[in-house]
Amino acid sequence: MQMDNPLLESYRTLLETLRRDNLLRIIEDRDSGQGRIIKRGGRELLNFSSNDYLGLASANTYRNRTGKVLHGGAGASRLLSGGTAEHARLEQEIALWKGTETSLLFTSGYAANTGAVPALSDEETVIFSDELNHASIIDGCRLSRAEKTIYRHLDMAHLRAALSKTGCRKKIIVTESVFSMDGDIAPIDELAEIASRHEALLYIDDAHATGVLGGGKGSLAEFNISRQSFIIEMGTLSKAAGSIGGFIASTRLVREFLVNRARSLIYTTALPVHAVTTSIENIRMIRETPDLIRRLWRNREHLYSGLRDMNLDTGRSRTPIIPLILKDNSSALRLSEFLSSRGIYAPAIRYPTVRSPRLRITVTAGHQEDDLETLLSRLREALSAGLL
């Protein structure tokens, strides 16, 4: 167990300095819609903080499924008057679900990665990033002043060697748990052990694991790893949670630090409250309906075994993301067009999104058994037509 991670220590120091200099930012959410008069901390205030110049953010109201009246646009950054009690409630729901002290909302997963990665790393930091990490992580690394080391995909020996070689004390390992184009799974247990041994932070992008692995809780639950302060988890509400928004699930310290340092949080408008409420409802649905995830995995196993029976190259997929790896771009395009002409949409993915061209097939809980059989029989046709 890692006791005093140097990066966590530096966050604590910075927050103390900001507090001393009266520069600390905190989030204080509204208890009302956006508008001329807002409620904050139980008091009604005449509001001079919004960017809702024409009053339209508060003009239209919506009712959620429980009948609660909601207002639309946030009208400002979360650090001004952009957030509401619903934003705070969603953060609590996420923390409860993920088993963390807190969570922090961003407007998207892209914003979470491009905000958190550079905020968490300074010029004395080395970021160790898997070569197949998502573009939002790569962009986060580019925005960071840290030194970057790219390790070969899931190659733990390479990562260990790179960590041993660095003289720097501040280190962050950044990885996806489920890789979005390959559907393979990072060895989160080994990564946690490596991070602990090298006093590094472990930053996990759980975009495709949330609502999918670990009974929906994500990769840490899947690997039975208890929460530790050096593990920071990122996720999105736009995939299994069926809504929009990104989040960081972490300790209070990391959250407070990000509130003060993550530019994609500070300098952008908060999520509209209807999106927030949709996320709350959908997370509850996932937690209360375990059959959804069971159905997802039943469908995944059905399709996967059908593809294996045809001896197709599905790479290292172990999740509902199943690539069909093809020999070149034109084969990928031809197969995708063939399927399209037979009523199936499975897009071809090519460079620079991936190195080896493929069809990326994603299976969901919404598919019926017939749907999976239809896809399999169309692929069998493609196989006998020499398209695969």
Ligand X SMILES: *Cc1c(COP(=O)(O)O)cnc(C)c1O
Residues that bind ligand X (CB under 6 A): 108-110, 113, 134, 136, 176, 180, 205, 207-208, 236, 238, 246
For the CB of residue 279, give the shortest distance to ligand X in the complex, in Å.
11
- Determine which one of 50, 58, 81, 180 is catalytic: 180
What is the spatial distance between Cα 346 and Cα 80, in angstroms, rounded to a whole number? 43
Q: Is 370 a catalytic residue?
A: no
| Closer Cβ to ligand X, 77 or 180, answer by number | 180
Q: Which two tokens stand for residue 22?
A: 């009266």
Catalytic residue among 51, 64, 238, 282: 51
| Catalytic entry in 176, 184, 199, 206 | 176
Q: Which is nearer to ligand X, 82 or 235 (CB)?
A: 235
The reply to whether 299 belongs to the active site is no
Active site residue 170: no
Please say if 51 is a catalytic residue. yes
Rounded alpha-carbon distances, angstroms, from residue 131 to 11, 134, 143, 150, 350: 27, 9, 17, 6, 16
What lies within 8 Å, CB to CB, of 61 at 6+ separation is 33, 69, 70, 71, 72
Cα(196)–Cα(219) distance, rounded to whole angstroms? 17
Q: Name the β-bridge partners of 203.
A: 174, 232
CA 220, CA 167: separation in Å to the nearest integer?
A: 29
Choice among 71, 87, 134, 217 that is catalytic: 134
Q: With respect to ligand X, which residue has the nearer C-beta, 49 or 238?
A: 238
In contact, 138 and 150? CB cutoff 8 Å: no
Determine whether 176 is an active site residue: yes
How far is 372 from 377, CA to CA, in rounded Å? 9
Q: Please report how close the Cβ of residue 291 comes to ligand X at its closest, in angstroms.
A: 25
Nearest to 106 by CA among 236, 229, 19: 236
Q: How far is the CB of 110 from ligand X (least distance, A)?
A: 4
Closer residue to ligand X, CB minimum distance, 63 or 316: 316
CA 348 to mean position of chain CA atoms: 23
CB of 112 to ligand X, least distance (A): 7
Q: For residues 95 and 117, which CB has a smaller minimum distance to ligand X in the complex? A: 117
* In the complex, least distance from residue 106 CB atom to ligand X, rounded to whole angstroms: 8
Active site (annotated) includes residue 208: yes
Minimal distance, residue 164 CB to ligand X, in Å: 27
Closest CA to 82 of 139, 32, 137: 32
Which position among 205, 206, 222, 256 bears the catalytic label?
A: 205
Catalytic residue among 198, 208, 274, 367: 208
Distance in angstroms between the alpha carbons of the first and the last residue of the chain:
49
The residue number with the shortest CB distance to ligand X is 109
Decide if 196 is catalytic.
no
Cβ-based nearer residue to ligand X, 32 or 282: 282
Q: How many CB atoms lie within 10 A of CB 215?
A: 14
Helix (H) or strand (E) holding 106: strand 102-106
| Catalytic center residues | 51, 134, 176, 180, 205, 208, 239
